[in-house]
A = this chain, B = another copy of it.
Amino acid sequence: MIPKSHPRYASLMQRHKIEEGVKQGYVTPTGMIAQGRGEAFDYLIGERTTKPADLAEKAAVAKLSVMRDVVISVNGNIAALCPEDVVELAKALDAKIEINLFYWTKEREARIAKILKKAGAEKVYGTGEKVQVPNLDSARGKVDLEGIYKADAVLVMLEDGDRTEALKAMGKFVVAIDLNPFSRTAQTADITIVDNVVRALPKMIEFAEEGCSVTGFDNNKNLKESIGEIKKTLGL
């Protein structure tokens, strides 16, 4: 049991959740490596929602609120870290939830669907028949026809660069939450939120419930400012 007073309580709790997910078989070992990379980048932005991240979260919610068909894509790490937040944000944005796994197995899919339903999801996409995303190899390029395939916008979190590029090539509006501002996903998305998902989602729920608007959001400028936040942490 980690005491709440521990200076690294939040970070250790996240790690614990990921480890539990590995034990239960729905987080892959590679998901642990992703968590470690995330920890390092989170450290570098000071483990807080920076000003540019806050603005990107607001811009993302403002945009997704007015789009017709929005899907939140969920992988193993997200199911381990914050399934309730995913469900709450989906409700606030009137969005769908779809399971999309890099290392897909029927069993992982079923476990994650169960977690999402337990967290309050009424319907989970991506658990039945699937169609192929163009130019993305078969194992990881399968999506739900009624979910991501038809969507206007997709929110991806801790996503692989190839997939983000394939979604963009399909003409989707992509919002990405990624702690690494240099990743292909971060560089490719229409709106990039450089923040920890466990901080970003609760803020986005709040913005969606209260309503918000942002004008003239410039993702490239914002991304540069996120990189600038690392500079502050490093005392450079």
Contacts and interface: CB of A to CB of B under 8 A. Distances in A.
A38 interface: yes
B36 A40 contact: yes
A231 interface: yes
Nearest to A38: B36
A32 interface: yes
Contacts of A15: 30, 33
Contact of A43 (B34, B182, B235): B182
Interface string A13-34: 0010011001000000110111
Q: Is the interface of A mostly helix, strand, loop or mixed?
A: helix
Residue of A40, A227, A235 with most chain B CB atoms under a 10 A cut-off:
A40
Contacts of A36: 32-40
Contacts of A235: 227
A171 interface: no
Nearest to A233: B182
A152 to B, nearest CB: 32
Contacts of A110: none
A15 B31 CA distance: 12
A41 interface: yes
A169 interface: no
A185 interface: no
A222 interface: no
A139 interface: no
A198 to B, nearest CB: 16
Interface string A209-234: 00000000000000000011011001
Given A29-B29, A33-B35, 20 more contacts: A18-B33, A19-B30, A22-B29, A29-B32, A32-B32, A32-B33, A33-B33, A33-B36, A33-B39, A35-B36, A36-B36, A37-B37, A43-B182, A44-B44, A227-B234, A227-B235, A228-B236, A230-B234, A231-B231, A231-B236
Interface of A: 15, 18-19, 22, 29-30, 32-41, 43-44, 180, 182, 227-228, 230-231, 234-236
